[in-house]
Chain A
Amino acid sequence: MVWTRKDLLGLEELTKEEIELIIATAESFKDVSRRAIKKVPALRGKTAVNLFYEPSTRTRVSFEIAAKRLSADVINIMTETSSVKKGETLIDTGANIQALKTDIIIVRHNCSGAAVMLARHVDISVVNAGDGWHEHPTQALLDILTLKERFGSLSGLNVAIVGDIAHSRVARSNIWGLTKLGARVTVCAPELLIPVAIEQMGVHVTHDIDDALKDADAVNVLRMQFERDEKGAFPSHIEYFKNFGITTDRIKKAKKNIIVMHPGPLNRGVEISSEVADGDNSVILQQVTNGIAVRMAVLFLVSQAQDKRNGYTD
């Protein structure tokens, strides 16, 4: 299996083998973060640019740490304090970042398809750190790594994704990745938060939380993104917690070894209770740790593919 892509834009376009290569590479990279000297020289002399059009702490910091552990230099551009405020387009910003002779743009944008469009207009690598409602590939990859560490294989695994599926790029990337690796995916949410025809992605749909949890080996609890509710489709916090919140009672009725995942940030008492979030079934902080290794693997692979294209030998 050879990785030839200069970009990582989403899991939809990846083959099962490509996903498995990223995960295998990430498993090796985990080791680097456990050493006294948490740094390897693989991306020495490369510059990665974090270009974030949306607020983010965890993803941006995780990418920054990943790049630094590979010895790359990292620049952070927060659009509220950049020329984007003066009306510069995404493509112009990308062209300028490229003209500064950088190597990788890590982009987070509120429009679906932003990363794909940027990748078409620049020659340097583009890594999608979340675009609108479309994809958040590295989040799904770290979820897959977490599942693989716990269960060994994803084949035949039952994974429930609970929450705002309609507005969730995390859900979409997870569905692509999990189904490619042979997991059975159930999505669960109030009717208005399930997109039409989602079944065509190969998932089972339910509006009953206990039904979703019944056979689940893992439940991925999505954050209720109240900031995205423009049409009044969202129930109230209390109503949502009552009907869909992941609570100790609901976990007790599920499989004994069910693992609870959440991409963060947590809304405690809305989609998940504190007891569950901090309890024995929770792997939420392991996900955060795995995020570094997965992002190191992605940066390493796209950078290597790029070097090969450019014919650099060292």
Chain B
Amino acid sequence: MREKAKILDKDTIRRCLMRLAHEVLEKNKGISNLCLIGIRNRGAYLAKRLADCISGIEQEHIPVGILDITLYRDDLTLIAPQPVVHKTEIDFDITDKNIVLVDDVLYTGRTVRAALDALVDFGRPKSTQLAVLIDRGHRELPIRADYVGKNIPTAANETVEVRLSEVDGIDEAVIIQKD
């Protein structure tokens, strides 16, 4: 395991999120009926930051929820060593809302598939869109993102790690090569 390249730094992440905020607003023609839902763990922090950008632009509050998809995964036992079940925190009704799911890295698409399944149990949104900070390719399901911070071509033996100051003490994204 070694760090191969740093692909995003603090300023790039900030600018990416600001651009994503504008794109979300442009596509949804404003903030009304819009909510963000971050996928635990780092997607939750990104959703909060994206919401701050959007509120900054529109001068209006946007609801943010957190989704824990542990119980909906189809590859639970592949995730080492043991995923801890956390709470889902969505304290608003998602029915008829336009939802933007937020995650850090889009890879196989399995996390997003699980998130879509989980959302169905909370209500019936008008639409569900997907925003990710990094799309690294290698999809195993027919899923694509509506908003992408950065497309990074990667090899299968590499992983992409997003680190956020809220949990990791630093804002950056790196490619790690497995030996």
Q: Which residues of A contact B (CB under 8 A)?
A: 1-3, 21, 24-25, 27-29, 31-32, 35-37, 39-42, 70, 297, 300, 304, 307-308, 312-314
Contacts and interface: CB of A to CB of B under 8 A. Distances in A.
Contacts of A32: 71
Contacts of B75: 313-314
A314 B122 contact: no
Contact of B87 (A3, A27, A40, A41): A27
A2 B118 CA distance: 25
Given A31-B87, A35-B122, A40-B121, A304 B82 contact: yes
11 contacts: A25-B84, A28-B68, A29-B85, A35-B122, A40-B72, A42-B72, A300-B71, A304-B76, A307-B77, A313-B75, A314-B77
B78 A42 contact: no
Chain B interface size, under 10 / 10 to 19 / 20 to 34 / 35 or more: 20 to 34
Main SS of chain B's interface residues? loop
A295 to B, nearest CB: 14
Contacts of B3: none
Contacts of B81: 2
B86 interface: yes
Nearest to B95: A36
A33 B14 CA distance: 38
Instruction: Determine which residue in B82, B85, B117, B121 has the highest number of CB atoms from chain A within 10 A of its CB, and name it.
Output: B85
Contacts of A1: 82
Interface string B69-97: 01110111110011011111000000000
A218 B52 CA distance: 44
A29 B85 CA distance: 8
Nearest to B120: A37
Given A28-B68, A41-B117, A42-B71, A3 B77 contact: no
B72 A41 contact: yes
A314 B73 CA distance: 9
Contacts of A29: 85
A312 B78 CA distance: 9
A25 B87 CA distance: 9
A300 B121 contact: no
Interface string B93-134: 000000000000000000000000110011100000000000
B76 A31 contact: no
Given A3-B82, A313-B77, A28 B121 contact: no
Interface in B35-77: 68, 70-72, 74-77
Contact of B74 (A3, A31, A314): A314
Top 8 closest pairs, chain A to chain B, by CB = A40-B71, A42-B71, A28-B85, A37-B121, A314-B74, A2-B82, A2-B81, A307-B77
A106 to B, nearest CB: 20
B136 to A, nearest CB: 21
A10 B71 CA distance: 25
A31 B87 CA distance: 7
A28 B86 contact: yes
Contacts of B68: 28
Contacts of A37: 121-122
B29 to A, nearest CB: 29
Contact of B71 (A24, A41, A307): A41
Contacts of A42: 70-72, 76
B77 A35 contact: no
A57 to B, nearest CB: 28
B119 to A, nearest CB: 11
A297 B77 CA distance: 16
Contacts of A28: 68, 85-87
Contacts of B71: 32, 40-42, 70, 300
Contacts of B77: 304, 307-308, 312-314
B84 A24 contact: yes
Given A312-B77, A313-B75, A39 B121 contact: yes
B118 to A, nearest CB: 8
Contacts of B76: 42, 304, 307, 314
Contacts of A24: 84
Contacts of A41: 71-72, 117
B120 to A, nearest CB: 8
A31 B82 contact: no
